[in-house]
Structure 1
Amino acid sequence: MQSNKDIDNKGMDLKELRRFGFTLSIAIGLLFGLLIPFLRHKPYGIWPWIVAAILFMWALIMPSTLKNFYKVWMKIGMFLGRINTTILLIVVFFIVITPIGIVMKLFGYRPLDDKFDATANTYRKKSNQIPVERMEVPF
C-alpha cells in the first residue's frame, strides 16, 4: 500500500499524468454526463462533457501541470481507502467472526484445547514419528 510519502516522492512521468487526466476526463463524462442523469431521470446536460473535454485536452497538451492535482487526488483516495478498510473490517468482525465465536461457545467447541488441568505435569503433546520415506515425496 502506498503511503503519503510515496505519493510525494514518486517521480511521476508525463505518461502517468496523461493517463490520469484521460481517465479522470472519461470518468467525469460517463458519471456526470450519462449515469447520474439516467438514474435520476433528468435531462442530459452539456457541462460534464465540456469539463471532460477541457480536462482531456489539458492532459494531452500540458500533463505536467496535473501533478499537484494528482497528489491531492491520491491523498484523498488513500484517506477514503483507510475509512473503507476500517468499516469493512468492523462489519466482517461483527457479522462473521462474532457469530462463529458465539456458536462455538454454545456448542462447547474449543479448537485450542486450552483447558486448565491441575493434575497434568506438562501440556506438551508428543508428535507422531514420521517415516523417512514420507520425506522423499512431500506432496
Structure 2
Amino acid sequence: MSQDITLPSNKSFGFFFSAIFAIGFGYFFLHGTVLLSGLFAVLTVTTFGVTLVAPQRLLFFNRLWLRFGLLLGKIVSPIVLGIIFFLFLSPIAILMRLVGRDELQLKNQKKASYWKERTPAGPDPESFRNQF
C-alpha cells in the first residue's frame, strides 16, 4: 500500500520544537535544575532563531523526525492493537461462546435449506445488471 506522506514545513517544525524546548526550559527552571534549564533555554533560542532566519537548515531534522515517527508507528501500532484484541475482544468472544450466542450464525444447523427470507424483499434484481 503506497501512501504519499508530505513533510511539514520547516517553519512549523521549528516553531513546534521551539515550543517543546520552551516547555522543557520552564519545567526544569521551576524545579531548580539550573544546568538543564540553561540547556533548554539555549535550545529554545537557537531553534527559534534558525526558524526565523534560515528555516531550510531544519530540513534534515524535519526528515529525521518524520522517519522516526514512521518507525515508531510501525512498532507501537501492532502492540496497541494486540493489547486491544487480547484484553477486550477475546474475553468478550469467550464470554459470548460460554453463554451460547452465535452472532455470525456459524454453527452447523441441520436444515433442508439455508436460504433466508428477507423482509422487505430487497433491491430489484435489475439494479444489479452491469455492475462493473
C-alpha separation between the residues in 2 aligned to 1:94 and 1:115? 23
- 1:60 is matched with 52
The structure 2 residue matched to 1:129, chosen from 120, 128, 131, is 120
The runs of at least 4 aligned residues of structure 1 exceeding 4 Å deviation read none
C-alpha separation between the residues in 1 aligned to 2:82 and 2:29? 34
- 1:137 is matched with none
C-alpha separation between the residues in 1 aligned to 2:74 and 2:93? 26
Structure 2: 5+ residue stretches without partners: 122-132
- 1:43 is matched with 33
Alignment coverage as a number of residue pairs: 119
Give the TM-score of the pair, scaled to structure 1. 0.73
For residue 26 of structure 1, what is the amino acid of its counterpart?
A
- Bigger relative CO (Cα 8 Å, ≥ 6 apart): 1
C-alpha separation between the residues in 2 aligned to 1:29 and 1:6? 28
Shift of 1:19: 1.6
For residue 71 of structure 1, what is the amino acid of its counterpart?
R
Cα RMSD (Å): 2.5
The structure 2 residue matched to 1:17, chosen from 10, 33, 51, is 10
C-alpha separation between the residues in 1 aligned to 2:19 and 2:118? 61
Structure 1: 5+ residue stretches without partners: 131-139
